[in-house]
Amino acid sequence: METFKEKALDKKDDMGLFRRLFPFMRPHMAVFSLAVFLVFGLTALDLAIPWLTKQAVDRHILPTPSLAGESLAVDPENPLVAAFIRAYPEAIDREKEGLYVYREALSLADGETAFALRKADRQGVVWLALLMLAVAICHGSIAFAHTLLLELGGQRIIYDIRLAIFAHLRSLSIAYFHETPLGRMVTRVTGDVENLSEMFTSVVTFVFKDFFLVLGIVIMLFVLDVRLALVTLMILPPVILTAVFFAKSSRKAFRQLRVLIAEINSRFSETIGGMTVIRLFGWERETERVFSGVSRSHYDAGMRQVKIFAVFMPAMEVLSSIGLALVLYYGGLRVVSEGISLGVLVAYISYLRMFFRPVRDIAEKYNSLQNAFSSAERLFQILDEPMGAEGKKGGVNPGPVESLTFSKLSFGYEKDVLILKDLDFRVERGQTIAIVGPTGAGKTSMVSLLVRFWDPVAGSILVNGVDLRDLCLHTWRSRLAMVMQDPFLFAGTLRENIQHGADASSDEKLEALLKDAGCELLLSRLPKGLDTVLEEDGRPLSSGERQLVSIARAFAGNPEILILDEATSYVDSLSEGVVQEALSRLMRGRTTFLIAHRLSTARHADRILVLQKGRIVESGTHGELLAMEGLYWRMQHLESVEGGEADGKGHGKRDGKNA
């Protein structure tokens, strides 16, 4: 048993993917523009905190005369201040109005007196602390609005993308669903879309914020001290090289992870769906081995990603420490030589620590961005799939279907391998056409062309003389109903399953419809009747009951053309009679195509088409075909023998021919 192999991702540049995502963003640009505008406010507030710290140090805590002034105002009412002035009258700055004391004279005062003299410094520190608090409150408020806007815009975009993916899936040809595992499609519409959601809500504008913060920090470093800034930026080239290496390595790892996640989902979906067969044939160990192999590949890819990230983060920490060491060494010497103030060094260290935080954030966001871009590639693989007939609008609106003509029709799922060859016959309104033949003869393929799940590779199907491909597909399919061997019922109420896609009927019409479909006994045993909730695949209904519901669904659509794909093959003998009677009522007055695996169901057809290797080898009524003693006759004989109901006359003739 081999695993599903996920398609390899094409190498696409990030900007190319972003350009393809932009049309989904365009309708919501007002929201994102406001979020980006708020980024400038957040950046300014982030940069304000170290600057305010510098002001507190240089003006009030360890005041620098060039910034704080050579003297400070004192309170003459304070006894300690008055005593100091009497003791040191030369400490008074007499050039200023009011009472000012030279800062140099503070060294003459004891601790308590110095504390009293520096009342203005204490007040300045308090005001700066309150200003920092106000900055923090403003930052929190703007950050709240910023996050809210991002979530609003991101969720709207994801809503649009999910609808676009779902709508495009509905427009694809049936071939896509035959070729693509269910788990892979589920991964696209759920997991990959969620990854994109993270990109829009926590990556794009946050990367802008981090970029502007880094730019603002670099500017502030130069404003504080150019020489120290130049020394600090020596660390920048290694930072850039490390980030670029991480970007390239993580992109490759994420691409592999997304491929393997889809493969795991495909395998898991297949295993759950086929659990009965797996247990019946004892394939548990083989299935476990295959799933374990895929999971191991995913584990290895995940570990490669973890190792890349594990190298990057410590590398950034080391570079951050080197940068701080450079600042502490060179900046400390500048402070000692009075080239810069202590406040400048304190602010510088704060800015440098802030510098590496957005750099790390950008790297982490790049992690998420690569995850999102890998998902975007997968989603665009779906959106780039060419639409089938379902995606094409317009077309001729057919009137009542008076005739159907298969005109020299050929078809194959692969161009070089034809399943149907040169089919040529005509069906009039109200006729019942049975299609019989060995397994693989092309019976189901023929009616699939009628439903237009596929288009012929040669020839055509004519409806009232008009090529089926020229008709409005939605209108055409509304004229059809199909009752299959194993009907599919949706999770939901019984009423919803019957009226699915059809106009809601009144209770009186619905009761009459259910009576014709033979559902009275079924409804009588269900306490909630039509409002009974069915689980996935129609549980807890039996096969026969599910078939009756599918017949009721066909009645609800009031079709002109009916397709029956051996509708009693999965029904037990007790239910078969009820189903056959319901089908007879459903067929009345309608053009019917009957795929018959058991020839007993084809006997009363107006015409029987016998297929062999994709060709119509015999055509006629039941009696006419028996008289030919060809393939139909042999099939009838074998069925009779297997059923223990051999016709003596027919048996004798067959024996004679073989003698």
pLDDT at 462: 92
Q: Taking Cα atoms as reference points, which of 73, 52, 55 lies closest to residue 64?
A: 55
Identify the CATH homologous superfamily for domain 403-643. P-loop containing nucleotide triphosphate hydrolases (3.40.50.300)
Q: What is the pLDDT of residues 21-32, one digit of tens each?
A: 888 888 888 888
Written as one letter, the residue type at 238 is P
**DSSP helix/strand/coil, 516:** helix
**pTM higher than 0.75, yes or no?**
no
Please give the share of the chain, as a percent, with pLDDT higher than 70.
Answer: 87
Domain residue ranges in the chain = 403-643
Summarised one tens digit per residue, pLDDT across range 341-380 is: 888 888 888 888 888 888 777 767 776 777 777 778 878 8
- pLDDT tens profile 218-243: 899 898 888 888 888 888 888 878 87
Residue 414 DSSP one-character state:
B
Query: What distance in Å separates the CA atoms of residue 102 and residue 117, rounded to the nearest whole number?
Result: 10
Q: Is the pLDDT assigned to residue 68 strictly greater than 50?
A: yes
Task: Give the whole-angstrom CA distance, residue 74 versus residue 77.
Answer: 9
Rounded to an integer, the average pLDDT of 460-489 is 85
* pLDDT tens digits, one per residue of 633-658: 988 888 777 655 444 444 434 433 33
Nearest-angstrom CA–CA distance, 547 and 581: 12
Q: Is the pLDDT of residue 609 over 90?
A: yes
**Mean pLDDT comparison of 10-19, 326-335, 606-615, 630-639, highest-scoring range:** 606-615
- Residue 633 and residue 650 in contact, taking contact as beta carbons nearer than 8 Å: yes
Alpha-carbon gap, residue 650 to 400, rounded angstroms: 42
pLDDT of residue 541: 81
The alpha carbon of 150 is separated from its chain's Cα centroid by a whole number of angstroms, namely 19
CA-based diameter of the chain, in Å?
A: 146
The pLDDT tens digits of the residues spanning 555-598 come to 887 889 989 887 666 565 666 677 778 888 888 888 999 988 77
DSSP secondary structure string for all residues of 79-141 = HHHHHHHHH-GGGB-TTSSS-EEEGGGGGGS-HHHHHHHTHHHHHHHHHHHHHHHHHHHHHHH
Q: What are 295-328's pLDDT values in tens digits?
A: 888 888 888 877 777 787 788 788 888 888 888 8
Which CA distances in Å does 173 have to 442, 452, 491? 19, 10, 24
Nearest to 145 by CA among 45, 43, 46, 34: 34
